[in-house]
Structure 1
Amino acid sequence: MDFKDQIKQLGDRVIRLKDSIQTEEATKTALIMPFLNTLGYDVFNPFEVVPEFISDIGTKKGEKVDYAIMRDVNGQMEPCMLIECKHWKQSLTLHDNQLLRYFHVTKARFGILTNGITYRFYTDLQEPNKMDEKPFLEINMLDLRDNQIEELKKFSKPYFDVDTIISTASELKYTAEIKTLIQQEMATPSDYFVRHFAKQVYGGQLNAKMMEYFTNLVRKSFQHTFSDQITDRLKTALGQEELTASQPVPVETQPEEKKGPTVVTTPEELESFYIVRAILRNTIDANRIVHRDAQSYFAILLDDNNRKPICRLHLNGNKKAITLFDENKVEQRYEINSINDIFLHSDALIKALSAYEKPVVS
């Protein structure tokens, strides 16, 4: 099994076990130690993984960081990574913790702050021997991305090389921060951002009323642009699937013809499902959002649970519509011209989701 498959398998384990974990120690044992083991470190070898790593810091004696990963440097074992752990439900903060202080007095170049679900990787890009306040890499075990797994692989024992990681850490850090700013501008465009676009398409005065008007237009334009990109990719993928499906099937492998009414999930319904997933993926793990097709509607649910509907889509009749649910599960049906209009109901979809559980805050 290659590294990517091992990490994804560990992600499945996190999903399966997290709700039964009650303490920080259990978080370490059930989630964090298997993570270190997957990276290739022997968690039962005290020369390689040192639990409760102690180093006196000035007048502070006997302070401990949860784990130190040790490596042989010129015949001497030195810490290369320091790891501080929290309970899986606890939010991660660097405020007043040992990770910052230990970074100053050890030779470790990397600090990891984790609750077993989110792993934040820090180094000293801004000032030598002083750990940055912001991580250069963040891994969410509930939402694993292939490009992040490739970066994580560099921390595994067989591939660990300080110079290689540092050479890409700066790009990772600033790319992540720029992506966050873009997401913020998409959700709530700043005046500066709105003016940048409005001045290029509108020659009049941008008073308060016009700024409000263009703020709404910029937000919608973002939504429609990304919707079009998703649509184009789905059409390409579905076109390839249809091409494969159109290949002749040998007579002996032809399935027996079904009798009675059947439910056929259309490409448009699948496309609408991916749009809803895209809207909600920053609020909850996208894998928990599933669809079920029925004769009269196409349902999108949380955790594949009929009691947790997020919305229903009616796309096969003369008029398209979306049914939304408030916090009391009261239905409200709205006509839509196309599935792109689903983006106009983003706030209602997020509100429907919050009726079942609060968004995860890391």
Structure 2
Amino acid sequence: MTLVFWYAEEKSRSVRLKTPSITGMQGGTMDLIEKLNNIARRGQEQVDHIQNEEATKTALVLPFINSLGYDPFDTREVVPEFTADVGTKKGEKVDYAIRADGSISILMECKPLGTNLANVQYNQLYRYFACTDAKFAILTNGFEYRFYSDLDSENKLDTRPFFTFDLEDFNDQDIDELRKFTKPNFDVDAILGTANRLKYTNLAKQAIDEVFRETPEEFVKFIVGKVYEGRQTRQVIEEFTPIIKEAGKAYIKEQVAQRLRGALASNDIDTTQSTASTDSASQEAEPDDDGIITTQEEIDAYNIVRSLLAEQVDVSRIAMRDAKSYCAVLLDDNNRKPICRFHFNAKSVKRVGFFSDKKEDRIDINSVSDLFQHKDQLKATVGEYLE
């Protein structure tokens, strides 16, 4: 079960409450996550108009390069249509070459938005990598960026990336790795020092993820051997398969919730504010009441909501207000922007109120970890307010 515990720990990293930032270029200090989220948002808004490779470069790739601190309009830093003669191949081009410290360090090949990079041949990158000083190569479709090097055989581009960054799905660990490629932090030795471990860690995570999605028979047999003393017949394996699959999901949820409680210990949360008094999310607030008690379950639920929305909005904008009858989670601490409400005071049942057009719809939950199943609803509500 060590692998399961490790997987849960890795999953929980994606919902840490701290937001990393870097020093930007001309615009001064700017949060890298904010830059990347802006690129992704604009890309999603323009997706119907990004219909070829050139549009992908303009709308997504060039802003991405810019977010790393390189000026895409300065050919001393970013060389478009980089050309070199490779063997019998004359005048072949790779889309971009990025100079760091005066020498070509990163090659980049672009494909149209929507291209499945797993099925792409990158012959130009492969050939150019062998005849330039570049130590890294990137293959991208605008949203997904695959980073390659020569970890397996010197001066020969690997067939598998050591790091993949997705603009639509990234966590703090991904940001930490991407930050190494920014202009102020670029250090070949530092990147290569951890690249091999990162490569196989990511491959292992993919394999573990497949275990939980597909639940292969070998894994089921391993767990059954730990918990069942009888003979592992075909019927026994079939009966245990859904049980083990659900047990794995439940274990991960519990581990994530536990780590959120630990994160709370280092974050000062003000839970003494007044709250809205009506179910229609009006501006009237209840008077302060010494009888209001914020429970650990409400705090845990609040932190889960913050973690689920961290990729959409700065978590500092998500506030909690407790009242005698419910505990509210608000955007910008505004009664007009309720995200959800926790109705945990009843001993028999827990309910969560979700909002659409500011109308509350309550559902029963068994534990606060069930909130992970309602991420889309929470994001949709916040999306309404952001629009």
What TM-score results when the alignment is normalised by the length of structure 1?
Answer: 0.69
1:21-36 equivalences under 5 Å are: 21=46, 22-23=49-50, 24-36=53-65
Aligned equivalent of 2:121: 96
Q: Distance in 2 between matches of 1:8 and 1:341?
A: 27
Please point out which of 167, 171, 186 is paired with 1:145.
171
Note closer, same or farther for the CA distance 1:126–1:35 as it changes in structure 2 (3 Å cut): same
1:231-246 equivalences under 5 Å are: 231-237=257-263, 245=271
Aligned equivalent of 1:308: none
Q: Are 1:18 and 2:47 an aligned pair?
A: no
Please point out which of 111, 116, 122 is paired with 2:142.
116
C-alpha contact (below 8 Å) 2:220/2:244 kept by paired residues: yes
Aligned equivalent of 1:2: 22
1:343-362 equivalences under 5 Å are: none
Aligned equivalent of 1:360: none
Q: Deviation per CA, 1:285-319, whole angstroms, max 9, x where unpaired?
A: 9538x9999x999999xxxxxxxxxx999756565
Q: Distance in 1 between matches of 2:186 and 2:347?
A: 59
Aligned equivalent of 1:162: 188
SS at match of 1:62: strand
Q: Displacement, 1:54? A: 1.6
Q: Distance in 2 between matches of 1:48 and 1:218?
A: 52
Q: Are 1:172 and 2:198 an aligned pair?
A: yes
Residue ranges of structure 2 left out of the alignment (5+ in a row):
1-20, 25-29, 274-282, 288-292, 330-339, 353-361, 379-387
Amino acid at match of 1:110: F
Q: Distance in 2 between matches of 1:56 and 1:117?
A: 30
Aligned equivalent of 1:129: 155
Aligned length: 322
SS at match of 1:138: strand
Q: Distance in 1 between matches of 2:269 and 2:192?
A: 45
Note closer, same or farther for the CA distance 1:215–1:313 as it changes in structure 2 (3 Å cut): farther
Amino acid at match of 1:32: V
Aligned equivalent of 2:96: 67
Q: Displacement, 1:58? A: 3.6
Please point out which of 194, 206, 230 is paired with 2:220.
194
Amino acid at match of 1:117: F
Aligned equivalent of 2:66: 37
Q: Are 1:79 and 2:104 an aligned pair?
A: yes
1:178-327 equivalences under 5 Å are: 178-237=204-263, 245=271, 258-259=285-286, 268=297, 271=300, 287=312, 317=346, 319-320=348-349
Q: Displacement, 1:258? A: 2.5
What TM-score results when the alignment is normalised by the length of structure 2?
Answer: 0.65
Q: Deviation per CA, 1:121-177, whole angstroms, max 9, x where unpaired?
A: 101111222211221112223344333323223222333232222111101101111
Amino acid at match of 2:71: D
Q: Distance in 2 between matches of 1:235 and 1:6?
A: 26
Q: Displacement, 1:350? A: 9.7
Note closer, same or farther for the CA distance 1:16–1:242 as it changes in structure 2 (3 Å cut): closer
Note closer, same or farther for the CA distance 1:11–1:229 as it changes in structure 2 (3 Å cut): same
Q: Distance in 1 between matches of 2:241 and 2:139?
A: 37
CA RMSD, Structure 1 to Structure 2 (Å): 4.6
Note closer, same or farther for the CA distance 1:2–1:80 as it changes in structure 2 (3 Å cut): closer
Note closer, same or farther for the CA distance 1:47–1:163 as it changes in structure 2 (3 Å cut): same
Q: Distance in 2 between matches of 1:132 and 1:297?
A: 55
Equivalent pairs: percent with the same residue?
A: 40
Q: Distance in 2 between matches of 1:164 and 1:243?
A: 37
Q: Distance in 1 between matches of 2:205 and 2:245?
A: 16
Q: Distance in 2 between matches of 1:236 and 1:112?
A: 37
Q: Distance in 1 between matches of 2:294 and 2:149?
A: 48
